[in-house]
């Protein structure tokens, strides 16, 4: 069994590669390195530099490495950028997926795991978001993820492919400092960047209908997320081996909400900082509360998150410091 992991040189992808190789699975990585880093790919794991839009590269990679399953993480994922560049996002995320699925169907591969997102839900007005909560994405990025799910399921039914769509909630932390998130797009690294500059974290709005007025989110440790991919990929292979071409859609979260203010206070506590957060106006489209129900994945796959928010912050801070030093930044880490 050999899994092709697209986007395997990225932050999340490299953790999936790590989890699968540590578990004894054979993997090959395909990444265009537009945001990925080849240094994230472990020694001994083949890295093919190329795009999922390139059918020739896909066909050659699948044949040369005898790929029998696919874990698809490659894609663009910034909400604001997707609003500015919707055509590019649909090209990369939907057309790229189309070309990949064509190659998968042509090669007779019978299991396919798709990296989706909680952004498919939009602004759900519920205490816990289940997989049956209506999807109403609010950005081109979210739309491409929902369209991707439709496409994956349709291709699975048409071509006899067992499929899974994993809807991530808010990912943080790192398994090792070398694999830390170096992009400043999510809350934790955004706060770190402010603290490095000697400034308080920025909170976008404190007048939401929540206990402390700030948004509530469900945070998942990237190591737990990677383990969920391993469990799901193995389940798909099991189904495909039995000729059972099911489709599975599950949330990947902890089922626990943490407010932005609580998260900032925890970050300050674990990093030794005391800067007071700065409250600025709300960002358009931010829902007050998005917390996952993780019951379905527990029932279907026996998976449950193991790491808490403290572990996410501590590991992320360690990784942030390691990359700061590597980059030649000498800001004191307090």
Read off the pLDDT band of 155 (50, 70, 90).
Answer: very high
What is the tally of helices (H) and strands (E) in the chain?
11, 14
What pLDDT sits at residue 118?
A: 96
What is the DSSP code (8-state) at residue 211? T
Read off the pLDDT band of 329 (50, 70, 90).
Answer: very low
Q: Are 200 and 194 in contact (CB under 8 A)?
A: yes
| 127-143 tens-digit pLDDT | 999 999 999 999 999 99
Read off the pLDDT band of 184 (50, 70, 90).
Answer: confident
| 104-122 tens-digit pLDDT | 999 999 999 999 999 999 9
> Which of residues 333 and 270 earns the better pLDDT score?
270
Mean pLDDT of the chain: 95
Read off the pLDDT band of 333 (50, 70, 90).
Answer: very low
Nearest to 263, CA basis, from 187, 321, 315: 187
Enter the tokens of residue 36.
């990925």
Report the distance separating Cα 115 and Cα 164, nearest Å.
9
Enter the tokens of residue 188.
């934790």
Q: What is the DSSP string of 26-80?
A: EEEEEE--SS--GGGSPTTS-EEE--TT-HHHHHHHHHHTT--EEEE--S---HH
Report the distance separating Cα 40 and Cα 33, nearest Å.
11
What pLDDT sits at residue 324?
A: 75
Concerning whether 90 is annotated as a catalytic residue, the answer is no
What pLDDT sits at residue 327?
A: 53
Averaged pLDDT, 229-235: 98
Question: pLDDT at residue 334 above 50?
Answer: no
CA distances 298 to 77, 158, 247, 295, Å, are: 26, 28, 16, 5
Question: pLDDT at residue 331 above 70?
Answer: no
Q: Pseudo-torsion of CA 130, 136, 140, 142, nearest 10°?
A: 0
Read off the pLDDT band of 325 (50, 70, 90).
Answer: low
Domains in the chain (CATH in brackets) are 2-172+220-252 (3.40.50.720), 177-217+254-326 (3.90.25.10)
Q: Are 226 and 71 in contact (CB under 8 A)?
A: no
> Which of residues 72 and 125 earns the better pLDDT score?
72
Instruction: Assign 92 to helix, strand or coil.
Output: helix
Per the listing, tokens 């007071």 go with: 276
Read off the pLDDT band of 182 (50, 70, 90).
Answer: confident
Enter the tokens of residue 76.
């663009």
Read off the pLDDT band of 330 (50, 70, 90).
Answer: very low
Q: Are 316 and 181 in contact (CB under 8 A)?
A: yes
Read off the pLDDT band of 86 (50, 70, 90).
Answer: very high
What pLDDT sits at residue 323?
A: 86
| 278-323 tens-digit pLDDT | 999 998 878 899 999 999 999 999 999 999 999 999 999 999 999 8
Give me the catalytic one of 89, 121, 141, 208. Answer: 141
């Amino acid at each position: 069994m050999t899994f092709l992991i697209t986007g395997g040189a990225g932050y999340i992808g490299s953790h999936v590669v790590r989890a699968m190789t540590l578990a004894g699975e054979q993997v090959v990585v395909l990444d265009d390195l537009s945001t990925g880093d080849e240094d994230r790919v472990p020694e001994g794991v083949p890295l093919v530099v190329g795009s999922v839009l390139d059918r020739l590269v896909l066909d050659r990679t699948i044949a040369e490495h005898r790929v029998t399953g696919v874990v698809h993480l490659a894609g663009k994922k910034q909400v604001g950028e997707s609003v500015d560049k919707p055509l590019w996002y649909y090209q990369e995320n939907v057309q790229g997926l189309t070309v990949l699925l064509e190659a998968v169907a042509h090669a007779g591969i019978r299991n396919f795991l798709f990296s989706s997102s909680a952004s498919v839900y939009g602004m759900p007005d519920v205490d816990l978001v289940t997989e049956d909560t209506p999807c109403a994405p609010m950005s081109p990025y979210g739309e491409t993820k929902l369209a991707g799910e439709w496409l994956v399921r349709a291709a699975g039914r048409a071509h006899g492919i067992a499929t899974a769509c994993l809807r991530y909630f808010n990912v943080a932390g790192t398994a090792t400092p070398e694999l830390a998130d170096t992009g400043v797009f999510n809350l934790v690294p955004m706060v770190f960047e402010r603290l490095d500059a000697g400034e308080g974290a920025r909170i976008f709005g404190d007048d939401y209908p929540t206990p402390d007025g700030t948004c509530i989110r469900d945070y998942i440790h990237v190591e737990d997320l990677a383990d969920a991919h391993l469990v799901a990929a193995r389940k798909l292979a099991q189904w495909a081996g039995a000729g059972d071409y099911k489709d599975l859609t599950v949330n990947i979260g902890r089922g626990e909400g943490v407010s932005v203010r609580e998260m900032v206070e925890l970050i300050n506590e674990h990093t030794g900082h005391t800067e007071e957060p700065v409250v600025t106006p709300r960002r358009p489209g931010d829902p007050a509360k998005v917390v996952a129900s993780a019951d379905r994945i527990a029932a279907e796959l026996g998976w449950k998150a193991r790491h808490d928010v403290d572990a996410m912050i501590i590991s992320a801070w360690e990784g942030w410091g390691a990359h700061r030093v590597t980059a030649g930044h000498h800001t004191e880490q307090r």
